[in-house]
Chains A and B, each alone.
Chain A
């Protein structure tokens, strides 16, 4: 397996634009997590899914953020409208139940 695959690796967008980050988890994993990494706040959990169902989205900072998992092999994190303070590295991770999380390479988002 190629591991968790995220796209794009880098995204530069203008304030107010919609941004969509994509993730393909490891095949067979039933948990998918979205984390955000910033210098100020470190690594923080945004939302996680179990069997494609969102379980806990309490970490999503605002209504501008939304995440979906339409099937077991694909998830998106959308920001609309984007703001400069959303600039961060966004990681997707996946795992089996009670298993260790495997992280993707991340998407570095810059909102100008």
Chain B
């Protein structure tokens, strides 16, 4: 019930491409879904987040699509750049504590 499944494990795109990372969850009590970006040797950093009452949220080149009935959400990176090369984690949380249940991560490489 607590698991968040993330795919793919790794992704390679050319500069300007649109990588898409998918996540699925089981626990319908989750009410907040953030995405974190992690560079080597650094801690995860919040990228963008969504609540289940909206189907899409866009911040700059990053867009989350959310399908509540399917219990799935995805991250799209528009006009990807080599600087976007990092590991991306989806997560789910609930309640006031917002303790995070993370997906397994996607290592993204954007080729110049």
Contacts and interface: CB of A to CB of B under 8 A. Distances in A.
Interface in A1-46: 4, 31, 33, 35, 42-45
Main secondary structure of the interface of B (DSSP, over half): loop
A44 B91 CA distance: 11
Contact of A42 (B41, B43, B105): B105
B54 interface: no
A25 to B, nearest CB: 13
B98 A91 contact: no
Contacts, number: 53
Interface residues of B, number: 20
Interface stretch (B44-52, B55-63, B76-84): B44-52
Chain A interface size, as a band, is 20 to 34
- Determine which residue in A43, A56, A95 has the highest number of CB atoms from chain B within 10 A of its CB, and name it: A43
Contacts of B45: 103
A45 B99 contact: yes
Q: Return the 7 tightest CB-CB contacts between A and B, nearest first.
A: A103-B43, A43-B102, A97-B96, A100-B46, A42-B104, A103-B44, A106-B43
